[in-house]
Structure 1
Amino acid sequence: MALGTIAARPSPRPSAQAVPGAALAEAARLLDSDPAMALARAEALIKAHRGLPPAELIAAQALRRMGKGQSALTRLIALDRAQPGVAPILWELAQAAGEVGDGRRAVAALETLTRAQPQVASGWYLLAREWRRLGETDKAWRADLSAIHASSSDPELVKAALAMNAGELDAAEAMLRARLGRVPDDASATRLIGEIHWRRGDLAEAMVWVEKALDMAPGFDLARDFLIRLLLQTNRLPEAQAHAETLCASPMQSPAHRLLRASVLVRLGDQEGAGAIYEALLRDAPDNAHVWQNLGHVRKTLGDQNAAVEAYRRAIGITATMGEAWWSLANLKTAKFTAEDRAAMQAAIATGPTGEDLFHLHFALGKALEDASDYAASFDHYATANRLRRAEIDYSAQGTHEAAAEHAATFTAPFYAARDGEGGCMAPDPIFILGLPRSGSTLVEQILSSHSMIEGTHELPEMMMIAGRLKSRAEQGEYASYGDLLASLSPADRTRLGEEYIDLTRIHRQTDRPLFIDKMPNNWQNAGLIKMILPRARIIDARRHPMACCFSGWKQHFARGQVFTYDLAEIGAYYRDYVAQMAAFDEAVPGAVHRVIYEQMVADTQAEVARLLTYVGVDFEEACLSFWENKRAVRTASSEQVRRPIYRDGLEQWTHYADWLAPLRDALGPVIEAYPDPPQDWAAHLAQ
């Protein structure tokens, strides 16, 4: 029961006379609606019953509600002396003292109260607020944490949490809202409502509620942790960083807080900062396999392959079934597995791991057997890994096809002619590299980012987020279709959206170079939108032989996204849709897209680099030919391959698996023979 409720219906020690219960209850009921009348009733009871303590409490409560805090406090001090240690009196005394600025007296009352009733969160919350008013941040933080601890055993909150975890979200929310109606400052109930919205997929509303919880209890570490994760999901990185730094200042130090801060730094591109956190954590706990794995990721990104291998092997040495660490070794591409490694992975699989560990182990063992030229066994493990991963994913190949067809139907030559010279942000900064993963896009990025005018960032989500927000408006029925919504955008709308993209991506830029690269491959689906809102942006389509590209993507496990890659037929269909849509875009806006054919880049690097730089609009620089000397952080699967000169090894690797790739060949159809040009039936394909 909340302390405020107890105080509203007091039951201090009775006087010698019979207590007029009905009259006391009536006076208490008047406190919120008519405090002056409540005071009058209480005073009458006090006079009739010689200083009746329950009536004294009601009188003090009425005075406080009437804005006469000092008078209320005077009576409460006297009442506390006469009736020491009574919880409702202490609760009211603390509130009155706080309201008149007597923080020390409020704290003294609340410390007595919370010692007597440590299981009641309301007292701790009020104590935290009073400590905060006194500037005692650390003590306030600890009081908030005690409040949260008390809430964890509150039967009402436990019942709501159990309902939420059982998927009964509406019932759980109803319980929590009813509680907040009685106890409006309950931070735990408020955070739980935020989690309910998150489980429904409404991240914006979830953040509103979690932020409310933190306003109520700034020391609520679990709520701040949750908010940081929500901010990361919505790519609000500066805010996530600020909250992560606050969390790490908690008096209840936890390695989990520092790990979360490291995750934020990784997203911000501060690999060195994240690495320093991991190394510090390992000095304290050297047997933490997950931290060794994370350190390996950072070292790989920074180009220190030997140190990355060491970190991954340390992780595996601690936990032999750690599939992600095995896969991370495989994902270095240039690292080779031994016979002992293959035996260790097979033994790990035999122990029966599940989930991510299992499919990561199969992906890694597929790579190990590929290195050993045992292609049949390698394919079996790749196929098992992909089957396990695909079962976890919600992906619609038909949805991709329909989106490509809508893109082609929307972004036509007449569409752009009607908007020529009107609207859109005219910033020349962005260079988009798009296409499929494993198409050579990281190589193109590394070449361009070796130029003194161009900054390489990484695969930025901002354009995808802008497009997703626009699409959701159509899906919610505001427009008949996404195409109709795009057609309705005014010049001012297009300018605003382009400026939004530039503003959002500023956080990723660490240098003063005038141009920057966004290497999100999936942005081929947004090529038309890019041209609409950023007319001067450069668009580079990195393309690789369809069999080589698709097979390479299929045998790759991606940390996030790329959900179309785990089935040979689906990745083939995706490639075919991509080629058709880009052919339509080339026809609508000739010359807008510069295409880099991977095999041509390998065959005549200097000529292709010169062509590429001319399109971007910068002078030729020799550094672009020695791109492997560029020490920038690279976060994609090709990070190690672009740290050495161009090589031909991977061009025909897929042919070792040709006997098993019929589903891929069938899905690609005429795209294979036509490559590097689109097939003649691309328009008919989109019309299907």
Structure 2
Amino acid sequence: MDLDHALGSHAVAGEMPLNATADPTADLETALAHASRLMASDPALAGEQAAEIIKTVGEHPMAVLLLGVSHRLRGDPERALESLRPLAARQPNWALAHYELGQALIRARRGIEASAALQRAVKLDPGLPKAWLTLGDHLMAMDDVEGADSAYANHIRHSTRDPQMLQAATALVENRLPEAESRLRERLKQAPTDVAAIRMLAEVAARLGRNEDAESLLARCLQLAPGFHAARQNYALVLHRSNKPAQALTEVESLLADDPGNAGYLNLKAVVLCRIGDYDTAIELYAAILEAHPDHPRIWMSFGHALKTAGQQQRAIDAYRRSLALDPGCGEVWWSLANLKTVRFSATDLAAMRAELAKTGVHDEDRQHLEFAIGKALEDEADYEASFRHYLEGNRLRHKTLRYDADETSSRVQRIRQSYTREFFEQRAGWGAQAPDPIFVVGLPRAGSTLIEQILSSHSAVEGTMELPEVTSITRELRAQGDPNGTMPYHDVVHALDDAALRALGQRYLDHTRIQRRTDAPFFIDKMPNNFLHLGLIHLMLPNARIIDARRHPLACCFSGFKQHFARGQSFTYDLDDIGRYYRDYVALMAHFDAVLPGRVHRVIYEHMIEDTEGEVRRLLAYCGLPFEPGCLRFFENERPVRTASSEQVRKPIYREGVDHWRHYEPWLGPLKAALGPVLDAYPEVPAGMAGENQRH
């Protein structure tokens, strides 16, 4: 889609001044073609020739385009826009004009307008591979990974002339993944070193959730073509998604060595740094990106997320507000403000959110976030009935996008209880890696785990990290060993592991989480709440790790989860019946482990922590084998990064007012109460029948 192609093919013999021939039309085309070909080697001279053409024949569209491109290539995007803006307005259906306008807007740091121009270009002419590639790079720089992936797929589709590859690329763009995979595998049988086909097959694998396959394919692609930067960017992204931040950073640094100012690469580096807790560096990177590209709303949002986690609340609010000024319909930013838990929306804010929600064509994801944010605004106004209606609608919208099955969770829990017996653990006593470093905090989200982490990390011997995904990564790999499709439980594989294998898993956990640790404290916290489902594995591979169960009143905990729009996971929280059943299964499973591993898990009842903070803190530290330190009672002075929804709440002293806040919504919690059953009445104890059932296992 270069300018020569747009002009057509013309033979150009030297510099031919306009009107030097008897055929003015041929003369004009020749002059335009010559200016176009000069652009790569001498954009200034090309611009001069374009200007001469305009003086002679008026504002010929191609001459105006060439003049604008010349200014852009000479580093003057504002002068380029002086030519290209009116040109695109006069030529609304000329794809090339909108493409070049998009290029100039990118250089002028006007990202939203650039996106619109590039989208217009590819809509007018989908067969423009360079426009798709530019759009993909731009969307990646704006942190729109999904949009970038689609644009890159279209770039592949429209840059190939091979019928077999074209069919595969078309299937990929249209998300017909089995067909795309079949065609690409057939292609690679014929041409095993076709790096474009390998990269496309990796994209198919990534979309299907087969990250290990995607990794292997991209590694092979880069082995064959080390300079294939688009593949390396894909590789870094897949490594990041696979919880391999160190390897991801290596690939990003390689990309930046070649193109240090690439906003997409810098953004990806910032994202990975946030994953490993290096927020100071990530904040610097986001600030640098925004200095160069100040109108990228998603980058402002990511900047806000990093600032919030680092405890810089006012700067986070300012970043979120800047994002909304650029894109007032972005529901995720409105929810991010609400999710600070300390921001009270003004009447103007509420009216703005309602106006966005009332618009036609609002994306479901934005609608979900807006419903939750409006629910929070109305909750702060004590309009609880209206607040609940919005929370309910937000949950309904989110729930319909998920595939959560409460029966499946109950079966899974029953399977665990049957698999991990007292005798099973006794036979494996002393196995696994003996290091005592990790302290696991488990339970349900919104049960007080962040408070426990903040208290413990205020001790001189303990470092707080985050909700580490490492145990989940290990279980995923174990599941794949027993079932290549990764759909069966992993527990049968665990039963077949010997001491050496379990010790290796424990050591792997310690090695892979090392990147999260910033101090030389001997202990660190992993507060992934859902790890309660993996306590059997945790005990076997790390028998000396501490395990703390954070428990909160079932109605308080469950409703707090129900009104929380989680960034990812926790798919059981978007229906009152689902979350009630999940809480009940959790209590049953923890009662089972209390029976088969007596004293192994220390339980912290949230309400007890509120009523007798010092007593509970002393008992907690004693369980961890740590001496009491007064700083643990002043946890709110701890300035470490906090990466959960409770980040601002744990930066304040404990207060009792929130304990019974759920009672404002009690009239509408009937389905939740029914799902909880006897667990609700027995709290904080375990229903007698449930405990007895565990004893029989």
TM-score by structure 1 length?
Answer: 0.76
User: Which range is displaced more, 220-229 or 243-252?
Assistant: 243-252
Select 1:502's aligned residue among 501, 504, 510.
510
Taking the TM superposition and a 5 Å limit, the aligned residue runs for 1:158-197 are: 158-180=166-188, 183-197=191-205
Q: Where does residue 445 of structure 1 map in the other structure? A: 453
Alignment of 1:55-94 (within 5 A): none
**Alignment partners' CA distance in 1, 2:227 and 2:484:** 38
Deviation at 1:254, TM superposition (A): 3.1
The residue number in structure 2 matching 1:666 is 674
Q: What is the aligned counterpart of 1:346 among 354, 360, 368?
A: 354
How big is the shift at 1:441?
0.3
Out of 534, 555, 575, the position equivalent to 1:567 is 575
Total equivalences in the alignment = 544
- Deviation larger for 485-494 or 393-402: 485-494
Q: Report the TM-score when normalising by structure 2.
A: 0.75
- The superposition leaves residues 559-597 of structure 1 with CA deviations (integer Å, 9 ceiling, x where unpaired) of 111111100100000000000110111011111000000
1:618 and 2:626 matched: yes
Is 1:372–2:381 an aligned residue pair? yes
User: Which structure 2 residue ranges, 5 or more long, are not aligned?
Assistant: 1-127, 130-151
The answer to whether the aligner puts 1:154 opposite 2:165 as a matched pair is no
Matches within 5 A, 1:649-688: 649-682=657-690
Quick one: which amino acid aligns to residue 293 of structure 2? Answer: A
Which residue number corresponds to residue 426 of structure 2? 417
Write out per-residue CA displacement over residues 596-646 of structure 1, whole angstroms, 9 at most, x where no aligned residue: 000010111111100000000011001100001111000000000000100
C-alpha distance in structure 2 between counterparts of 1:476 and 1:242, whole Å: 29
Per the alignment, residue 467 of structure 1 pairs with: 475
Correspondences of 1:538-617 after superposition (within 5 Å): 538-617=546-625
Q: How does 1:315-330 map to 2 (within 5 A)?
A: 315-330=323-338
Instruction: Name the aligned partner's letter for residue 543 of structure 1.
Output: R
Superposition CA RMSD, Å = 2.5
Alpha-carbon deviation of 1:483?
4.2
Contact 1:473–1:479 under 8 Å retained in 2: no
Q: Distance in 1 between matches of 2:223 and 2:483?
A: 34
Cα distance between partner residues in 1 of 2:381 and 2:628: 41
Q: Compute the displacement of 1:330 (Å).
A: 0.4
Residue correspondence of structure 1 range 290-305 to structure 2 within 5 A = 290-305=298-313
Are residue 535 (structure 1) and residue 543 (structure 2) matched?
Answer: yes
Q: Secondary structure at the match of 1:432?
A: strand
Q: Distance in 1 between matches of 2:693 and 2:200?
A: 48
The corresponding residue for 1:256 is 264
Percent identity between matched residues is 49
Report how far residue 316 of structure 1 moved.
1.0
Q: Residues 157 and 169 of structure 2 are in contact (CA less than 8 Å); yes or no, is this contact kept in structure 1?
A: no
Is the contact made by 1:434 and 1:524 (CA closer than 8 Å) also made in structure 2?
A: yes
Shift of 1:282: 1.4
C-alpha deviation, 1:317, in angstroms: 1.4
Give the corresponding residue for 1:52.
none
Q: Indicate how the Cα distance of structure 1 residues 248 and 670 shifts in structure 2: closer, same or farther if over 3 A, else same.
A: same
| Mapped pair 1:289 → 2:297 | yes
Q: More deviation in 568-577 or 160-169?
A: 160-169
Identify the residue that residue 358 of structure 1 maps to in structure 2.
367
Task: Report the residue type matching 1:631 in the other structure.
Answer: E
Residue 200 of structure 1 deviates from its aligned partner by 3.2
1:117-136 equivalence runs, <5 A: none
Inter-CA distance 583–410: structure 2 relative to 1 (3 Å threshold): same
Larger radius of gyration: 1
Deviations 1:151-204 (A, max 9, x none): 824343333200233344454345444544555443212211222222333221
- Aligned partner of 1:242 in structure 2 is 250
Match of 2:233 in 1: 225
Classify 1:176/1:288 alpha carbon distance in 2 versus 1 (closer, same or farther; 3 Å).
same
Q: Say which SS state the counterpart of residue 688 (structure 2) adopts.
A: coil
Partner SS, residue 257 of structure 2? coil
Question: In 2, Cα distance between the equivalents of 1:548 and 1:457?
Answer: 26
Shift of 1:657: 0.6
Structure 1: distance between partners of 2:331 and 2:174: 30
Question: What SS is found at the alignment partner of 1:194?
Answer: helix
Supply the distance in 1 between the matched residues of 2:663 and 2:488 (Cα, whole angstroms).
Answer: 46
**3-state SS of the aligned residue for 2:435?**
coil
SS of 1:594's equivalent?
Answer: strand
Q: SS of the counterpart of 2:548?
A: strand
CA distance in 2, matches of 1:192, 1:483: 34
Change beyond 3 A, Cα 1:180–1:670: closer
Change (3 A) 1:185 1:616: same
Match of 1:106 in 2: none
Match of 1:396 among 389, 405, 409: 405
CA contact (8 A) 1:599 1:651 kept: yes
Deviation string 1:45-88 (CA, Å, 9 cap, x unpaired) is xxxxxxxxxxxxxxxxxxxxxxxxxxxxxxxxxxxxxxxxxxxx
